[in-house]
A and B are shown apart, each in its own frame.
Chain A
């Protein structure tokens, strides 16, 4: 039950959403799918006067736009799963969408933009989008801007969106066919992620690594990018190299996130193995693709 009366508006496009928000920036909340905002209102944690619901703003769907893939802010996990273009061009995000639990009710409801705006450490999307090199498109009172998605995560539960700004979508570069790996550790099907690792790798004809991206999620307040070139590029994906990469990942986590489901010490202990498994999965993927 939502205690307070509120105004619910459905803008027809992003500009109208921005105009609505301008009326009451502090008393408004933007709603993507509502899987986070609505429960917050039910618990009385959030008591907005105005809800700007983006679901009729034409910001959904996934489409190819030149050399990148555009994922609308209100694209749902089901949209990601249903996009052949995404499966071909950004298989990492398909892996992420496949691991979303809660059944179709959640996959049809939760949105990519909503997950970014909520900036919750314990969610899949932020780190995966960072790994995929996405640019966020943001509409605001002073027009549109584009920014690397990594810059949107200021702190836990705090995005870098300014009051009055709305996420329009994400441009994901259609990269060369990299090997993708995604490993998510949870405490059970009902659990939010405790640790995620998104890995993208490439190898040369000799099987030596030419590229390695690793972004850890759910283990720190914001997505954690692990620099691996020094330990992986030029190396074969053998156990010593992967162990070195895992060690790097563990060392990179200096301020692990603690929450109701797992202490920071646990996250610190598992991040290495999770990183190693994601990298292994990515190397296996590129080997099969070749």
Chain B
């Protein structure tokens, strides 16, 4: 805690500790706008003359498109335009890849906004209609007649790798999108001297992001000016603009992307979706604004987490890990230009991280099948990595007759061993994993729970206690991609002394805008009410990368602090001139600039700001007379150049948590009832603890929900069975116990204020803890459940299949 105290002195000399805004759990600064329905979401936008789009999607998982007859649709009086894939291919170039697998030795997929020639998954867009009303568009879309010639379907990743598998892209000669390895390939050599070797397999199931707001776009083409405006539910307005320009053949500076308020994203709204391009193209053809609101069934298509994780682990009698070798097969679904496959790569990088495990080798294969493509989804591959590692720890504990908490303790990277380079090359900045383990065990009352478990077992009841340790690399930088470890903010004060922050990071509703306002207000000594923040507008905000990888506070927030400090320095200089003292004497606090402790020598900050603009030749001679600064915060620990082992250092911070889940299993029905869920979390310095609580709680609930039953199911024909929230079951409030939170603060040495990312916290550890808890509950029955979800049918099947 000493480090935090020191930091508070060094980061801001302007406000004494008791008045610090940073660190306070301030409520959302614009919460009233959400609560009273005044906040504008993309769905609220209605432009004059606006028409509506509907998309014709493939009912087949794999088929040739023989022909498309749009006659009937076009004959409808309300129809403005109809577009087929062949037409779209004439008008646009292929969608630029967010992360092209070809750059790392994989295969390049040519994907356009509408399918051309064949479809490779059910739900793939093949044509689109624009009509007067949403109903007109839907009715016309139903009139588009597409003739298909069905092709053999492959849904299983391993089957897709077989020599005789149907190929999604014949030009590749394989369904392997990309394969690779990270870490030293030395398992055999190390295992030879270890006391034990175990092997096993863990399976993740297909889920998705499932925000409450589906994707929504309003595109407006000004034909006279040749300018395109897109209001979109996007996490990354600037990168989206860059890719739109490349595909739509419109110069980047003539495209204006605006992201209004977002109703959750969780990765679904990262840039580069086919509809991003399609809706713009439709507006350009229609010559009038076009709106599209994604239906729920389509919104559930982009997938994640569908993985087979096979492992071998070598360890000694004392439970100490010697070596780990993991082979991860990811069922990606059809190839995509999006970020989705990157989850397999990040999972490989993260596997085993946080444990002192020099010999950790991961091979990964990303396989194309006739499911809808993966889309980047929180927590971006760290879920599978966590699940396999936390199952490994449990099995090692069982094999050694040790408590699983103790096995983790023995294997964690020690608090004094940072920075610690993991086998994959990731350089962990700081941490105290054992500290969070202690906090979580104490909160849950671990020893007493173990006693209760024994007592209940005597009564034939099955209580389980599961631990899940998550280490979540955050704030990524990917060489060559529009995913950067830095971001940019502008801070601007007007002559009234009010402040506007314009930043390249965006908020999916999580509240980073509130936190950034806190940070800026503190630096400038003004109230939160005097700070306005603008995000998500490519014409007004500096070029930035939006919200991904829990980066917004670390990058955009820190950049705003740097810019605010520049403005504060100017205010102090001018105030000093007004008060006839030195700038170093001036303190900005409570809306006043003045000499600390001298009530006579104080001047309102608004008066100082006014003076800068009105008395520039008198009082502001010491500065360039503006109150504006644009700064970029670029953490120093990213390394884009590979080391001698080919490893990069792609993440800035490594927040972590220990989860303990307590579950009781009804062995007659397989129903899992969660009794408690405790999380001890550490994201370094907390800018706004209330928002941190919200993020960790939400992420944990998402992970619990995935573990318990959120599952996207396909029929054998590759047509989705899950098509809405009655067939894709999100946990509801009554399914989840209160999330009991503990916080530990281990400040990051590499970020400006010591903060680490928190936006993806919770999911991975929660999912693993629930799976472990169910296994712990059923251990006396000899049940091993090595797959999610732990839904009643799956749990009961495992119980019935267990060797007695």
Contact = CB atoms under 8 A, between A and B. Distances in A.
A4 interface: yes
Nearest to A273: B668
A226 B636 CA distance: 72
Contacts of A44: 138, 142
B669 A261 contact: no
Given A185-B669, A260-B727, A1 B138 contact: yes
Interface stretch (A55-63, A227-235, A262-270): A262-270
B793 interface: yes
Contact of B725 (A187, A190, A266): A190
B734 A189 contact: yes
Nearest to A2: B135
Interface string B730-741: 111111000000
B797 interface: yes
B579 interface: no
A6 B768 CA distance: 50
Contacts, number: 73
Contacts of A43: 297, 723
B139 A3 contact: yes
A105 to B, nearest CB: 13
Contact of A191 (B139, B722, B729): B729
A190 B797 contact: no
A95 B374 CA distance: 43
A48 to B, nearest CB: 14
Interface in A226-277: 260-263, 265-266, 269-270, 273-274
A3 B138 contact: yes
Contacts of A265: 797
B721 A260 contact: yes
Nearest to A269: B796
Nearest to A5: B135
Interface residues of A, number: 27
Contacts of B731: 188-190
B534 interface: no
A188 B142 contact: no
B460 to A, nearest CB: 13
A189 B673 CA distance: 12
Nearest to A267: B793
Contact of A262 (B135, B297, B734, B792): B792
Given A44-B142, A185-B671, A270-B668, A192 B796 contact: no
A200 interface: no
A4 B136 CA distance: 7
B669 A273 contact: yes
A266 B135 contact: no
Nearest to B720: A260
Contacts of A3: 135-136, 138-139, 142
B139 A266 contact: no
Contacts of B713: 260
A5 B671 CA distance: 44
Nearest to B734: A189
A116 interface: no
A265 to B, nearest CB: 8
- Which of B135, B734, B793 gathers most chain A CB within 10 Å? B793
A190 B791 CA distance: 13
Nearest to B708: A188
A260 B721 CA distance: 6
Interface in B670-685: 670-671
Interface string A1-31: 1111100000000000000000000000000
A174 interface: no
A269 B796 CA distance: 8
A194 interface: yes
Contacts of A101: 732, 734
Contact of A270 (B730, B735, B796): B796
Interface string B792-804: 1100110010000
Given A44-B142, A260-B713, A188 B669 contact: no
B96 interface: no
A58 to B, nearest CB: 31
B204 interface: no
B763 to A, nearest CB: 18
Nearest to A195: B669
Contact of A4 (B139, B670, B792): B139
Contacts of A190: 725-726, 729-732, 735
Contacts of A187: 709, 729, 791-792
Interface of B: 134-136, 138-139, 142, 297, 668-671, 708-709, 713, 721-727, 729-735, 791-793, 796-797, 800
Which 10 pairs across A and B sit closest by C-beta, in order of nearness? A3-B138, A189-B732, A273-B668, A266-B793, A3-B139, A1-B134, A260-B727, A260-B721, A188-B735, A189-B734
Given A187-B792, A189-B733, A192-B726, 17 more contacts: A3-B136, A3-B138, A39-B724, A43-B297, A101-B734, A185-B671, A185-B792, A188-B732, A190-B730, A190-B735, A191-B729, A263-B793, A266-B793, A269-B796, A270-B668, A270-B669, A274-B669
